[in-house]
Amino acid sequence: MDFESNYDIVGSAQFIRTHDFTRVALQFPDHLLKDSTRVVTALRKRLQSLKKIDVTEGGHEKDVGLFVMADTAYGSCCVDEVGASHINADSVIHYGHTCFSPTTNLPAFFVFGKASVCIPDCVESMSKYALINSKPIMVLFGLEYAHSIQQIKERLLKPSDPKLEVHFADVPSSVMFPSKDTKKINGLQEPASGYHGESGTTYSIGGLTWKLPEGQSMDDYSLFWIGLDDSAFANVVLTFNTCDIVLMSIVVVKIPIKIMNLFDSAILEARYELDWWQDFRYDANENQMVTDLFQQRRILKRRYYLVERAKDANIVGILVGTLGVAGYLHIINQMMELITGAGKKAYTLVMGRPNPAKLANFPECDVFLYVSCAQSALLDSKEYLAPVITPFEAMIAFNRGSQWTGAYVMEFRDLINLPQTEVADQEEEARFSFLKGGYVEDFGNQENVEEEREALALVNATEKALQLRNNSNAIVKGNARSGAEFLATRSYQGLNMPIENISPEPYLIGRRGRASGYEDEKNQQ
Amino acid sequence: MARKKDDQRAMVGSEEVKFTIDQLRRIMDRKHNIRNMSVIAHVDHGKSTLTDSLVAAAGIIAQEVAGDVRMTDTRQDEAERGITIKSTGISLYYEMLEGDLKNFKGEREGNEFLINLIDSPGHVDFSSEVTAALRITDGALVVVDCVEGVCVQTETVLRQALGERVKPILAVNKMDRCFLELNLDPEEAYLTFQRVVESANVIMATYEDALLGDIQVYPEKGTVAFSAGLHGWGFTLTNFAKMYASKFGIDEAKMMSRLWGANFFDSATKKWTNKHSGTATCKRGFVMLCYEPIKQIIELCMSDQRDELWSKLQKIGVNMKSEEKELTGKALMKRVMQSWLPASSALLEMMIYHLPSPASAQQYRVQNLYEGPLDDPYASAIRNCDPEGPLMLYVSKMIPASDRGRFYAFGRVFSGRVSTGLKVRIMGPNFIPGEKKDLYVKSVQRTVIWMGKKQETVEDVPCGNTVAMVGLDQFITKNATLTNEKEVDAHPIRAMKFSVSPVVSVAVTSRVPSDLPKLQEGLKRLAKSDPMVVCTMSETGEHIISAAGELHLEICLKDLQVDFMNGAEVSISDPIVSFRETVFERSCRTVMSKSPNKHNRLYVEARPTEDGLAEAIDDEKIGPGVDPRNRSRILSEEFGWDKDLTKKIWCFGPEGKGPNMVVDTCKGVQYLNEIKDSIVAGFELASKEGPLADENMRGVCFEICDVILHADTIHRGGGQIIPTARRVFYAATLTARPRLLEPVYLVEIQAPEQVLGGIYNVLNQKRGQVFEEIHRPGTPLYTVKAYLPVIESFKFNESLRAQTGGQAFPQLVFDHWDMVSSDPLEPGTPAAARVAEIRRKKGLKEQITPLCEFEDKL
């Protein structure tokens, strides 16, 4: 694959030229940064040649400023509009893997890159799979494979086998303009999980869109994914987790025995767990079909656990995970309302891309709510001291009466127009915590408590300050309802008692060197 | 008009109604005429059957069927399995004759008595039900099978009763076995009974309590009854003493003392002696005057010698109805014995005479019950059992109501009164006085008294009584303290301490995903319905049900599916046994971890805690709640700690109270106080999920040897220290030869000699270790005691039954944690395999994270 086509130099130049952009930011993810200079050179050359044509046509003359942006503060899949606005850019060209989240202000051009795929193998296994499978197949793919899809499609449908019902998602256009419609900026766009148009339901996820005829839903289809096991795939998997399970046999030429085994175990598993979805993945690099999605299935269960954990939280930290995705302010406000409505305390934290050490600086937060684009939304690791949940999970956790149904929404934009489930509080009941195995108090149930607490917070805190603490060891974590209360229960209150011996300390020579190994330590080794 | 209506509210549908609900309610106000008692025993020693005969006396069931109905076994599965699963309350009305009360010294108002009785299960798995029953009663009728004697569960429940300051009386039950089944020689029978009484007394003697007084039981003082629950007869020595006192013309009390112990009567010389004189006519008082007359009557009945029987009966003043004379064999015997020595009157009399009324019991029980200061108005209201005082009510369990999904809150009023419509403050188990956590104010919709299978609504219930309430179930999980709405200063009543813990777990998922809400609702109800079962969730998102034993779990799962989920199916995982992680010796070196910014370093060593220290922490003898001076003393005296070190315990964990700790041994480190909270937070995480298999740690003491901190506060914040602390604790554990601890059951099996071989076989297969085998004198029975790892115990019952032809019944109760001797870090060992298995189940990488991930080099 040659360089120019991989980086779509022609398309990018065309994009700049046709819209007359003068300051263009080129956003590279870290692993592509090494190519940035070559891309800039090539692009500039291309623009030059286009300019010549322009000049001959007698247009105006302008220099195009190209700026390379690296090291984005948030996920590299989103367009870094804040970074681009630092240099007053009027458009962004985004390279590499993208989540295709809509931008707020700047037009963007996406270069997905082109990954190679062995088309005949892919077509063969797909058609075999389709023959045995009773359900129609919907083919979804990673954007970096978009370039081969047309070929696969042609090849696959060439035999004109009427029985073969294979549908392909549409290849997205590489150009994105921020929506002028204010309603849309607020995020009121078509929901990713599908909306009912006149002629059927349109789905869109991670840039891919497709349409299903009237009366059909994704449950009637089997999903076929061409691409890597990356965040885009995880996104698809979680969003369409209710897709009906179809048992299918796949025979891949290369390793039939292994696949048959996988198939057998898949039958068993499916019989055992009818509740979870199953779809199939075609890994283009290794050219093999993977049906064992146990790991992904676990994720969903794990998310269910995190939701239950979040229900027990008193203090929620809202992590701002994006400054670019359209509607992020709206969702943050909505989440704030939701959390305070549930009688919990919310703090908004802006810290760039979160990591465990950063989050551990806020031990008072029982749970973090991460507002970001769909593909970087899932943060889960043992390293985190408190669970990190998505806005959708927060909706379930903090809305009294909403149930975990297994349906999952990754894009927070879809939550904005999700109907607020009005929970008629007809039966007052304390909330049952499944982690503690008993009833726990819900502050929402107790009127006026919150108000009183706000007004008297200081008074209460000072009152407690003078309480006799019989045992400093009795530190109870997790009962604090606000950051102030948490700090009040800390054993360390800010100052050490002056040590009786106040004679001056002798002069000492400190350590030298860097923290990773001071000089005296280096000598020891 | 109203009067008449009230009369129609008479108790139960049987024709022979002996009392009305109004009568019952009237006595509830007379706190000296109430007895609250539980019936406790080993499984299958005849509690429920004996209870039946008491209920029969109250007229709730017909005398004829007493012994067969098991009035207090209200559930279908209880009836089918023939064991009690839930404790059931029943209120009985009993009117004593004036003459029978002439020796009664205590306070009373009139001759009518109210007995609030709770029948409890005998199987170890349901011990929590016993605990809940004991909390709300003042006396306990300990039932012991005269042949099997005092068994493991008898001992457990007896200890629990004494721990709660519940006064015990003894019933030596299944007397009929002596006569009909074993045909014991009278003297031998006496010795058997004596052994039962003695072994019970041995246990009680260890609980000397000045306030409770002498708690041992003596047949000659009337605190031991002899009964045959199945046939509905029974007696105390009082009955016989009364009978003979008039005949011999001696004092009743003197007569009584001669009926037990080394008192012999020679019928030839008509003399009483203290020793057996050796002549054939010399017989023990008990044998001659109690045992043999009964034996004679029974033999006459069974051999159908009617004429002689009638004349004998005439002599002892028993009149039989003509239709009863038609009976033959066992039926006749049962009827005759019931008329002669009705169990109910013997037992009820014993209860009224020897068990404390709430008024007297609460005087000393207040110390056990009330958490707050003992001189506040609430404590004194409890102490005086004051109906006009503030309401203090302890809800000890929740009982499923007939309309699905709702529960009655069942408990005891200790002071004040609870009435329909009363607004009450509900203080949950996590309530802390002065705070608003776990606190609700709600109205009682209805107050109900419990009558076994039936319930009766009453206007209000005064202190000293048990009560069930409607309308509070959505705020109480298992237990709670209730008080009046305005009594904001009241402290709660102390939480119950269970003798068993939930060690057996399974994961449940709904078969159909759309049933998840049903499953959640079902689990919620299950958690309420049982005092012990714990419904939690694993980190992998599965719902976990933990119970005390296999049988308990089985019952819970059945309840969940059939009753609480309306038949929706769930899939149940294999049993999950929780393990613990510990260390075998001190860390081989001081390990160090650096913070993510490399500026802070923690140096830590791990070492096992001293023997018995972990248990002491479990028992809250040394723990966060203990006065530091006391803790310091116990640690230095019993565990040989350095005095200074005992003051440097930073924390316990997990949950702030577990059997692991952090001790600060470093000197002169600046800013150390500042990072203490962060280290505690890191320790909490580490001790909850150990490095081997994410299981809780147990018995590990971490010593902080040195700390290097960055001079700027911002660089030694929680974000830097908490993860570092966790890593360094893991590293210290891994360098201290980590080991796995597995839970071990104590198994007690009673079986005849011929099946002992089979028992040993099964135990051997299951890694069991027999440590005691005792022949029970006077019987063909052997008692085998063994330790059995919980992980091997599944299907133990089945294999035992198969190997012994159903003649051996094991009782399994969690006993201790035992170290798995092999090294889990060495591949191929059983411990390593176990660790890999746990990790796989939890969805972790099978390989233990290596030390180098946690320890940093200089």
The closest CB to that of B858, out of A302, A440, A521, belongs to A521
pLDDT, position B679: 92
Region of poorest pLDDT, from B318-332, B371-385, B598-612: B318-332
Angle at B83 between CA B77 and CA B87, to 5 degrees: 90
| Residues B371/B492, Cβ–Cβ less than 8 Å | yes
Residue A236 vs residues A315, B35, B162, B345, B374: alpha-carbon distances, Å: 31, 67, 62, 75, 63
Which residue, B10, B7, B25, B23, is CA-closest to B449?
B25
H, E, C per residue of A166-204: EEECECCCCEECCCCCHHHHCCCCCCCCCEECCCEEEEE
A422-451 pLDDT, tens digit each: 554 445 677 788 877 778 765 444 444 444
Greater confidence (A429 vs B387) lies with B387
* Confidence check: pLDDT of B5 > 80: no
The pLDDT of B717-734, averaged and rounded, is 91
Closest approach of B720 to chain A, Cα-based (Å): 6
Residue B457 vs residues A452, B21, B291, B445: alpha-carbon distances, Å: 39, 9, 45, 11
> Beta-carbon neighbour count of residue A150 at 10 Å?
11
pLDDT, position B455: 79
Three-state DSSP state, B161: helix
- Whether residue B377 is preceded by a cis peptide bond, meaning omega within 30 degrees of 0, is no
Chain A residues inside the 8 Å CB shell of B511: 274-275
Three-state DSSP state, B142: strand
**B673 with A357: Cβ contact below 8 A:** no
Interface contacts (A, B; CB < 8 Å): 152
The pLDDT of B45-69, averaged and rounded, is 68
**B678 with A302: Cβ contact below 8 A:** no
| Residues B443/B503, Cβ–Cβ less than 8 Å | no
DSSP per residue over B305-333, as a string?
-HHHHHHHHHHHT----TTGGG--HHHHH
What is the tally of helices (H) and strands (E) in chain A?
17, 21
The pLDDT of A212-232, averaged and rounded, is 72
Strands, E assignment, A17-98: 23-27, 65-69, 91-95
- Dihedral (CA of A85, A89, A91, A95) sign: negative
* Confidence check: pLDDT of B514 > 70: yes
Highest mean pLDDT among A238-247, B141-150, B207-216, B772-781: B141-150
Which residue, B118, B175, B182, is CA-closest to B144?
B175
pLDDT, position B515: 82
The pLDDT of B186-195, averaged and rounded, is 87
**A437 with B536: Cβ contact below 8 A:** yes
Closest approach of B569 to chain A, Cα-based (Å): 13
pLDDT, position B603: 94
Which tokens go with B780? Answer: 């063909």
For residue B179, what are the contacts with CB-CB under 8 A and spacing of at least 6? Answer: B294, B295, B298
| % of chain A residues with pLDDT over 90 | 2
* Confidence check: pLDDT of B129 > 50: yes
Which residue, A416, A358, A2, is CA-closest to A188?
A416
**A491 with B677: Cβ contact below 8 A:** yes
**A429 with B474: Cβ contact below 8 A:** yes
* Confidence check: pLDDT of A493 > 90: no
| CA distance linking residue B343 with residue B54, whole number of Å | 7
Phi, psi of A155, deg, nearest 5: -65, -45
A107-163 pLDDT, tens digit each: 888 888 877 767 777 777 777 777 766 677 777 777 777 777 777 777 777 665 555
Residue B493 vs residues A438, A484, B390: alpha-carbon distances, Å: 18, 31, 13
Place of tokens 């020693």: B45
| CA distance linking residue A484 with residue A457, whole number of Å | 8
For residue B528, what are the contacts with CB-CB under 8 A and spacing of at least 6? Answer: B398, B407, B473, B476, B477, B478
pLDDT band at B591 (very low <50, low <70, confident <90, very high): very high
The closest CB to that of B722, out of A272, A363, A446, belongs to A363
Closest approach of A363 to chain B, Cα-based (Å): 7
* Confidence check: pLDDT of B456 > 50: yes
The closest CB to that of A304, out of B541, B649, B684, belongs to B541
pLDDT, position B324: 77
pLDDT band at B727 (very low <50, low <70, confident <90, very high): very high
Exposure on the CB side of residue A64, measured as CA atoms within 13 A: 28
B776-788 pLDDT, tens digit each: 777 778 888 999 9
| CA distance linking residue A94 with residue A85, whole number of Å | 14
pLDDT, position A461: 59
* Confidence check: pLDDT of A284 > 50: no
Could you tell me where the DSSP H helices lie in B72-121? 76-81
Phi, psi of B570, deg, nearest 5: -125, 150
* Confidence check: pLDDT of A259 > 60: no
pLDDT, position B686: 92
pLDDT band at B609 (very low <50, low <70, confident <90, very high): very high
The pLDDT of A241-253, averaged and rounded, is 38
Ramachandran class of B249: left when φ > 0, alpha when ψ lies in -120 to 50, beta otherwise: left
Which residue, B402, B443, B396, is CA-closest to B420?
B443
* Confidence check: pLDDT of A419 > 80: no
The closest CB to that of B524, out of A304, A432, A476, belongs to A432
**A449 with B436: Cβ contact below 8 A:** yes
pLDDT, position B582: 93
| Residues B388/B359, Cβ–Cβ less than 8 Å | no
**A437 with B535: Cβ contact below 8 A:** yes
| CA distance linking residue A237 with residue B702, whole number of Å | 44
A37-90 pLDDT, tens digit each: 888 888 888 888 877 766 665 555 567 888 888 877 777 788 888 888 888 888
What's the distance, Cα to Cα, between the start and end of chain A in Å?
A: 49
Helix (H) or strand (E) holding A289: strand A288-290
pLDDT, position B843: 78
The closest CB to that of A434, out of B476, B536, B717, belongs to B536
Highest mean pLDDT among A492-506, B59-73, B436-450: B436-450
Closest approach of A358 to chain B, Cα-based (Å): 6
Which tokens go with B796? Answer: 């133990």
* Confidence check: pLDDT of A185 > 50: no
pLDDT, position A271: 29
**A439 with B523: Cβ contact below 8 A:** no
The pLDDT of B569-593, averaged and rounded, is 90
B487-512 pLDDT, tens digit each: 888 899 988 888 888 888 899 988 87
The pLDDT of B296-307, averaged and rounded, is 84
Closest approach of A189 to chain B, Cα-based (Å): 29
Helix (H) or strand (E) holding B424: strand B423-427
Mean pLDDT of the residues in chain B: 85
Read off the amino acid at residue B373.
P
Looking at chain B, which residue has its C-alpha nearest residue A518?
A: B858
* Confidence check: pLDDT of B1 > 70: no
The closest CB to that of B681, out of A305, A432, A477, belongs to A477
Helix (H) or strand (E) holding B708: strand B700-708
pLDDT, position A132: 67
Q: What is the pTM of this model?
A: 0.81
* Confidence check: pLDDT of A190 > 50: no
pLDDT, position B59: 58
| Residues B245/B255, Cβ–Cβ less than 8 Å | yes
Which tokens go with B151? Answer: 């068994």
What's the distance, Cα to Cα, between the start and end of chain B in Å?
A: 94
**Which residue, among B128, B475, B476, B710, would best test binding to A if mutated, counting the most A CBs under 10 Å from its CB?**
B475
Chain A residues inside the 8 Å CB shell of B661: none
β-pairing, A315-320 vs A345-349, is parallel
The pLDDT of B81-97, averaged and rounded, is 80
Phi, psi of A485, deg, nearest 5: -65, -40
Strands, E assignment, A313-447: 315-320, 345-349, 367-371, 388-389, 431-433, 438-440
Highest mean pLDDT among A38-52, A511-525, B14-28: A38-52
Strands of the sheet containing A108-111, edge to edge, are A65-69, A23-27, A91-95, A108-111, A175-176
Angle at B191 between CA B185 and CA B194, to 5 degrees: 140
Residue B249 vs residues B239, B293, B741: alpha-carbon distances, Å: 15, 19, 67
The pLDDT of B366-373, averaged and rounded, is 87
| Residues B297/B312, Cβ–Cβ less than 8 Å | yes
pLDDT, position A352: 82
A348-371 pLDDT, tens digit each: 998 888 888 888 888 888 899 998
Mean pLDDT of the residues in chain A: 70
**B656 with A303: Cβ contact below 8 A:** no
B659-679 pLDDT, tens digit each: 999 999 888 788 888 888 889
pLDDT, position B590: 92
**B541 with A301: Cβ contact below 8 A:** yes
Which residue, A456, A449, A459, is CA-closest to A340?
A449
Q: Residue B547 pairs with which residues in a beta bridge?
A: B504
Which residue, B261, B336, B35, B291, is CA-closest to B183?
B291
Cα dihedral B642, B648, B653, B656 in deg (nearest 10): 130
| % of chain B residues with pLDDT over 90 | 17
pLDDT, position B60: 56
pLDDT, position A449: 45
Which tokens go with A35? Answer: 């190519």
Region of poorest pLDDT, from B9-13, B323-327, B614-618, B747-751: B9-13
**B535 with A434: Cβ contact below 8 A:** yes
